[in-house]
Amino acid sequence: MPLVRVPATTANLGPGFDTLGMALELFDEIQIELAPALEISVSGEGAATIPRGPENIAYRAAQAVFERAGRLPGNLKIAMYNHIPVARGLGSSAAALVGGLVGANALLGGVLKQEDLINLATALEGHPDNVAPAILGGLVVAARDGERVYCRRLEPPAGLTTVAAIPQFTLSTRVSRGALPARVTMSDAVFNLSRVGLLLAAVQDGDLELMGKMMDDRLHQPYRLSLVPGMEEVFAAARAAGALAVTLSGSGPTVIAFCQGRNPCVGPAMAAAFARHGVACIVKELAPCSRGAVVLE
Ligand code: HSE
C-alpha cells in the first residue's frame, strides 16, 4: 500500500507566472489502497475542511490515473497526513493531486511514466508551476503546449533559503486569479520576460544576488495587492531585513522571502508588518527541496 510523500511548492518565483516553481522542505503524506468502499481520512492541516467524498482532489487524481491506464475506477481508502497549510499559496492542492496520481500509479505498478503524470497533473490543476516541482523537486521551469508540458528541473542555488509568512486567512487560487486582467501591456510583458530569462541564468550560475534582483513582477502581484492586506509593507520589511528578494507565493496569501543563508530577522520583520495591517501569520523557514514526490512504502 503506497505511502507518498509530496513537497510543498512556491509558484511563480515573482516574474514566472504559471511558469516557474520550486519545491520546499515541507511535506504532505498520502496513503492509498484498494478498498471495498470509498474511505477518506484527513489529519493535520485542512482536517476540518478537506472533502471526504468523491470530490476530494487526491481521490479524483487517483481515478484519473485508473482511467488513463484503461482500468475500471476502483474504490479507494485514502489517508492524508497534512503539514502544508491549505489555500495559502504553498501548493497544498497540488500536493494532494500529485499524491493521488503517484499513489495510484504505484498501486498499478507504475503504468504511467513521469512525463504522463506531469501532463495529467497539469491538466487537472490548470497550470504546471506547482505540480511540476511537486513531482520533480528542485526549481522547475515549465511550458504548456496543448496537452503536453515541457519542463526542466534546475538545482536551486547553494545557500538559498526561504522564509514564508503565512497569513491565518485562506485565499483560493480561483479568487486570486479572478483579480488578474485579461490583457497586459507590452512593456510589462517585456519586464517579466527579461527577468525570467536572467533569473534562470542566475540559477544555473548559482548567482544568488542576480537571482534576487530578477524576481520582480508586473504581471500578477500588482493586481493581487488588494487581496493581501499589507502586502507592499511586508515586501518592504523583508527587503529591509536583508532578504535578496520577496514575492507572493503562488496566488497568495503567503509572502515568501528569498535569502542567502539563514536570516533570523526576516521572519519577525514580515510578521510585524502583517500585524500592523491586522493580519496574524505564522512564519516558517523552508529550505528548497531537491526531491519531488517519493513513494515511501
Ligand atoms: N501560477 C498560479 C497563480 C499559481 O499565480 O495563480 C497558483 O498557486
Pick from 10, 12, 84, 141 the residue to mutate for probing ligand 1's pocket: most ligand atoms within 8 Å of its CB: 12
Nearest residue by C-alpha to atom 1 in ligand 1:
18
* Residue keyed to cell 499559496: 89
Q: What is the mean pLDDT of residues 235-260?
A: 98
Q: What is the mean pLDDT of residues 199-215?
A: 98
Q: What is the mean pLDDT of residues 265-275?
A: 98
Q: What is the pLDDT of residues 29-68, one digit of tens each?
A: 999 999 999 999 999 999 999 999 999 999 999 999 999 9
Residues 6 or more apart whose Cβ sits within 8 Å of residue 278: 229
Residue 218 Cβ inside 6 Å of ligand 1? The answer reads no
Chain-centre distance for alpha carbon 56: 18
* Residue keyed to cell 519531488: 292
In contact, 203 and 238? CB cutoff 8 Å: no
Q: What is the pLDDT of residue 189?
A: 98
Q: What is the pLDDT of residue 72?
A: 79
* Residue keyed to cell 493521488: 100
Mean pLDDT of the chain: 97
Residue 127 Cβ inside 6 Å of ligand 1? The answer reads yes
Q: What is the pLDDT of residue 21?
A: 98
Q: What is the mean pLDDT of residues 265-286?
A: 98
In contact, 151 and 140? CB cutoff 8 Å: yes
Residue 71, pLDDT above cutoff 90:
no
- Report domain extents, the chain: 3-154+289-295, 160-286
pLDDT confidence bin for 297, thresholds 50/70/90: confident
CATH (residue range 160-286): 3.30.70.890
Q: Cα separation of 250 and 131, whole Å? A: 12
Alpha-carbon separation of residue 285 from 23, 69, 157 (angstroms):
13, 39, 16
Residue 35 alpha carbon to ligand 1 centre in Å: 34
Same fold yes or no, 3-154+289-295 and 160-286:
no
In contact, 226 and 205? CB cutoff 8 Å: no
Residue 74, pLDDT above cutoff 90:
no
In contact, 9 and 84? CB cutoff 8 Å: no
Residue 144 alpha carbon to ligand 1 centre in Å: 14
Q: Please name the amino acid found at residue 16.
A: G
Q: What is the mean pLDDT of residues 104-121?
A: 97
Q: What is the pLDDT of residues 132-151, one digit of tens each?
A: 999 999 999 999 999 999 99
pLDDT confidence bin for 1, thresholds 50/70/90: confident
Residue 195 Cβ inside 6 Å of ligand 1? The answer reads no
Q: Report which secondary-structure segment, H or E, holds 189.
A: helix 186-205
Alpha-carbon separation of residue 295 from 4, 31, 106 (angstroms):
4, 9, 8
Q: What is the CATH class of 3-154+289-295?
A: alpha beta
Q: What is the mean pLDDT of residues 177-195?
A: 98
Closest of 2, 4, 1, 3 to residue 95, by C-alpha: 4
Residue 12 Cβ inside 6 Å of ligand 1? The answer reads yes
Q: What is the pLDDT of residues 88-109, one digit of tens each?
A: 999 999 999 999 999 999 999 9
Across the strands, what pairs with 20?
Answer: 141
Residue 173 Cβ inside 6 Å of ligand 1? The answer reads yes
Residue 19 Cβ inside 6 Å of ligand 1? The answer reads no
Residue 18 alpha carbon to ligand 1 centre in Å: 6
Residue 92 Cβ inside 6 Å of ligand 1? The answer reads no
User: Strand 39-44 and strand 76-82: pairing?
Assistant: parallel
pLDDT confidence bin for 73, thresholds 50/70/90: confident
| pTM assigned to the model | 0.96
